[in-house]
Each structure stands twice: as structure tokens, then as C-alpha cells.
Amino acid sequence: MAEQDFEGTLVLEELAAIGKLDEFMEAIDSDDVERARALMKRAKIDAATIATVIRKMTDADGEH
């Protein structure tokens, strides 16, 4: 997936579908990369999208 094509809403929709959106947001807020990754895998989000989300988490470094 190209960076310009990334749509975070789709990730959130998939997590909401499995009832894990709040847990994911908590992981994001606490910079818990491993928990966020595990939740996205559980939601069956593809590896390229997971990598993009993780990169955005680590690049933000408290700026999100």
C-alpha cells in the first residue's frame, strides 16, 4: 500500500467490527506497539497496513 493511499478509517472500522476499537485506541495512546499490532492481526488487517500504522505510531513519538 502506498503511503498516500493509507486510510486509517478502514483500520478503525475493522477493529470496531471485532469490538476492539477502544482497546486499540488505548494501545495507541500508551505507545504500546506490540498490543496495537496484536489487535490489528486479530482484526485480520493485512501486513502492509499494520506496518504503516506501526510506522506512524513510532514516527509520531508523542506528537499524535
- Could you report the per-residue pLDDT of 27-64, keeping only the tens digit for each? 999 999 999 999 999 999 999 999 999 998 888 765 54
- How do the domains of the chain map onto residue ranges? 3-59
CA nearest neighbour of 31 among 6, 64, 3: 64
**Residues written for the chain:** 64
- Contacts within 8 Å (CB) and 24+ apart, 55-60: 57/28, 57/31, 57/33, 58/33
pLDDT of residue 60: 72
Whether residue 1 has pLDDT greater than 80: no
What are 7-31's pLDDT values in tens digits?
678 899 999 999 999 999 999 999 9
User: Could you give the CA distance from residue 64 to residue 47 in angstroms, rounded to a whole number?
Assistant: 22
* Amino acid making up residue 64: H
